Amino acid sequence: MTITYLEAIREAQEKALRDDERVYIYGQDVGAFGGAFKATKNLAKEFPGRVLDAPISEDAMVGSAIGAAIEGMRPIIEMQFADFSAVAINQIVNQAATLYWRTQVACPITIRLPSGGNPGSGPFHSQCLESLYSHFPGLVVMTPATVEDAYTMLLEAVEIDDPVIFCEHKYLYNRLKSDLLPETGLPCDTARVARFGRDVTIVTYSAMVHEALAAADQLRKEDIEAEIIDLRCVKPFDLRTVLSSVARTARLLCVGESWPWGGVNSEVITSVVTHGFLLLDAPPQRINSKDTPIPFHPNLWGVHKPSSQVIAAAARRLCEW
Amino acid sequence: MLDTLKQPKRGVVPPASREQYVEAFNWMLLARTVEEKLASLWRAGKISGGVYLGKGQEAISAALGIMLKPGDIFGPLIRDQAGRLAFGEPLIDVFRVHFGSRTGLSRGRDGNVHRGDPRRGYHAMISHLGSLISVVIGALVARRFQGDITAIGATTIGDGGTSTGAFHEALNMAAVEKLPLVVVVVNNQYAYSTPNHRQFACTDLVERAIGYGIEGHSLDGTDLRECLEVLGQATERARSGHGPQMVVGNCLRLTGHGEHDDAFYMDKSLSYTRLGRDCLKVAENYLQEHQWADEALLENWRKNAKEQVEDAVVNAQHEPLADPNSETWCPYATQRIAAALSVR
Ligand SMILES: Cc1ncc(C[n+]2csc(CCOP(=O)(O)OP(=O)(O)O)c2C)c(N)n1
Ligand SMILES: [Mg+2]
């Protein structure tokens, strides 16, 4: 039996609904239809009254999740696409993220953002918004890169007492497969070394982990061993694991699919420079998507986001320092 | 158009008893006394941030507050001092939060009208107008999941707040879910400096109820008797399964937007219309006309309100203020997340 990244998300939601009566799912077309991507397939039938279609009202969807969480529920909100969460940004960053700070009442909501590009998706169905949400204190931002993490981290997101922005990558939905789902996983604030290497540290997350792994395969042919750190969660992120890798490789390359300004890559580099400047033999580098809206045509989109070739080239240059 | 408005007949709820009227009146009086004190503390520089008063809206707010029962949900806005007190807010909490006391509801982290105690169903508004309605909706959804079919939720909004997308999304959502929600729209003719005719183009905001498919009510916010009757009816309709209720209360803001605002832009002639009446004075007259209270009793109540307020201020002033050294600076409820972020 194989299970995809998308199915893992469905399985995690099924388990959460089964194990915890405080959980319910709310989002557009998540009910009988099973969600735009089928992440809630059959769940409405299995859990009558707990998987509910929402009107096209992202602001009120998140606002209502906050109110329900205050009263002890654990809502999961499915945004149809990450891009539409922009309509709910007020509720997310001003209401959910500040609630505990202002009132000492926790806000355990999970907001699932189907993120990232697919060929032909264009400017409004392709965004990666982890850098945006990481900016706001009070939010946890998860970016799973594997089938296993999609499963265990979504369960962890539901369990966490703070609002979690769960950035699940659409490109991985049906492309990633695994044999079985784990019982437990690493806690989200622990990074994973996805590949060991001695020459350069590549810090990345979500779909870019797989581009970085492909780059590492190319680099190995040139006798460059890249170490790949999968952050798994970008807020908080596991600085210790990053620093201990940089201590060995002395070179840092950060790769993310979101835009460069004030982003996750910048934060990782700043933290490494601040806490581990003397570990570095070369200036840290970053690769992001180009600083433009996301292009529609695959010819343009293919070079808009970081690719394994671009990652390999940047790693090579770093190693020549 | 208006004939399609589902507007329940008046008089289903009996007129206010003396007991109910007197109770509401005393919350109005206490709220007015609290706010006069807040204004003078603000002028004396004793309060950080803005001070927003509900002068002229106490009747609507108090009437709503006393219609709510323990276990109900209340999302008050900036001019709801009377409703907050009637819903059970301890007087001292008003001053604790305005002073930024460490013992206050938000411990100096947020201030003034943003206070609340969500654990008790008393929600803490954020500034962003319209955004509280869906939070009250969610609380009602939770209650429904939990099998509580007796609670209702109520929240207020101004004429200006009805223009937000959040207001529209929430009213539609509440209607779709048929929730026991009472939304009280207080049309005090202005949103900061913006008059009604620059805010909306319908004849009367209660017409909006038609579009949402919910019941709509109107009331004269200067008349406590009518506020009690109509809000009594609207809360009863919500409680008995008739879905969301929109109540539009008409009145005039008898103060600037906040204490920093002299309201030079307001149309002075409105003060001489029925809308411009002071609901507290109207209620005093009503009490005397019905011989429910004489001047001596009114004076006694005023004195009592003053004493309670003075006591609360003195007690709150003795409490320690927010302090950067004892502040945890932690916005996370989950220990290990907080720990992971504090490593930096
Ligand atoms: C979404 C949003 N935009 C702007 C403001 C700034 N603001 C605060 S109060 C106010 C006027 C509100 O008018 P209204 O809704 O009529 O309520 P009132 O003050 O009359 O009670 C404005 C514009 C805000 N709080 N929220
Ligand atoms: Mg107004």
> Do the Cβ atoms of B138 and A67 come within 8 Å?
yes
- Whose alpha carbon is nearest atom 17 of ligand 1? B158
How close is the Cα of B158 to the center of ligand 2, in Å? Answer: 5
Would the CB atoms of A63 and B133 count as touching at under 8 Å?
Answer: yes
Contact partners, residue B300, CB within 8 Å, separation at least 6: none
Per-residue confidence (pLDDT) for residue B3, from 0 to 100: 56
Which residue in B has a C-alpha nearest to residue A95's C-alpha?
Answer: B126
End-to-end CA distance of chain A: 47
**In angstroms, what is the span from residue A57 Cα to ligand 2's centroid?**
25
- Best A24, A56, A66, A71 member to test B by mutation, with max B CBs in 10 Å, is A71
Please give the distance, rounded to the nearest whole angstrom, from the Cα atom of residue B194 to the centre of ligand 1.
Answer: 10
Distance CA A19, CA B31 (A): 47
Residues of B in contact with A68 (CB under 8 A): 138-139, 141-142, 145
Is the confidence metric ipTM above 0.85 for this complex?
Answer: yes
% of chain B exceeding 70 in pLDDT = 98
Task: State the pairing for strand pair A192-195/A226-230.
Answer: antiparallel
Range of the domain at B10: 2-343
Domain at A3-178: CATH architecture: 3-Layer(aba) Sandwich (3.40)
Chain length of chain B: 344
Q: Hey, what are A193's tokens? A: 């070394």
Question: How is chain A split into domains, by residue range?
Answer: 3-178, 192-320
Predicted model pTM:
0.97
Domain total for chain B?
1
With CB atoms and an 8 Å threshold, state whether A63 touches B166. yes
Question: Does residue B190 line the site of ligand 1, with CB under 6 A?
Answer: yes
pLDDT in tens, B58-98: 999 999 999 999 999 999 999 999 999 999 999 999 999 99
For residue A91, the chain B residues in CB contact (below 8 A) are 131, 134
Name every chain A residue with its beta carbon within 8 A of the beta carbon of B333.
Answer: 100, 106-108, 161-162
Answer whether A3-178 and A192-320 agree in fold. yes
Check pocket membership of B79 for ligand 1, CB cut-off 6 A: yes
Total residues belonging to chain A: 321
Query: What CATH number does residue B115 fall under?
Result: 3.40.50.970
By CA distance, what is B329's nearest residue in A? A101
Q: Residue B1's pLDDT is what?
A: 45
Tell me how far the alpha carbon of residue B11 lies from the centroid of ligand 1, in angstroms. Answer: 34
- Smallest CA-to-CA distance from A159 within A134, A180, A188 is with A188
Q: What is the DSSP string of B101-125?
A: BTTSTTTTSS-GGG--BGGGTB---
B80 in ligand 1 pocket by Cβ < 6 Å? Answer: no
* pLDDT one digit per residue (tens) for chain A, 321 residues: 799 999 999 999 999 999 999 999 999 999 999 999 999 999 999 999 999 999 999 999 999 999 999 999 999 999 999 999 999 999 999 999 999 999 999 999 999 999 998 889 999 999 999 999 999 999 999 999 999 999 999 999 999 999 999 999 999 999 999 999 999 999 999 999 999 999 999 999 999 999 999 999 999 999 999 999 999 999 999 999 999 999 999 999 999 999 999 999 999 999 999 999 999 999 999 999 999 999 999 999 999 999 999 999 999 999 998
Nearest CB to A71; choose among B117, B133, B143: B143
Q: Decide if A236 and B341 are in contact by the 8 Å CB cutoff.
A: yes
Q: Report CB contact under 8 Å: A91, B134.
A: yes
Measured in angstroms, the CA of A123 and the nearest CA of chain B are apart by 23
Atom of ligand 1 nearest to the CA of B199: 16
For residue B66, give every residue at least 6 positions away whose Cβ sits within 8 Å of its Cβ, in sequence order, or none. Answer: B20, B23, B24, B27, B86, B228
Any ligand 1 atom below 6 A from CB of B198: no
**The pLDDT value given to residue B153:** 98
Per residue in B242-283, pLDDT tens? 999 999 999 999 999 999 999 999 999 999 999 999 999 999
B128 pocket-lining for ligand 1 (C-beta < 6 Å): yes
Residues of A known to be catalytic? 58, 125
Q: Strand, helix or coil at A282?
A: coil
B127 Cα nearest atom in ligand 1 = 25
Output the CA angle B309-B311-B313, nearest 5 degrees: 70
Q: Does domain A192-320 have CATH number 3.10.180.10?
A: no
CB of A77 closer than 8 Å to CB of B118: no
DSSP string, A73-98: -EEEEEPSSGGGGGGGHIIIIIIIHH
How far away is chain B from the Cα of A269, in angstroms, using its nearest Cα?
Answer: 13
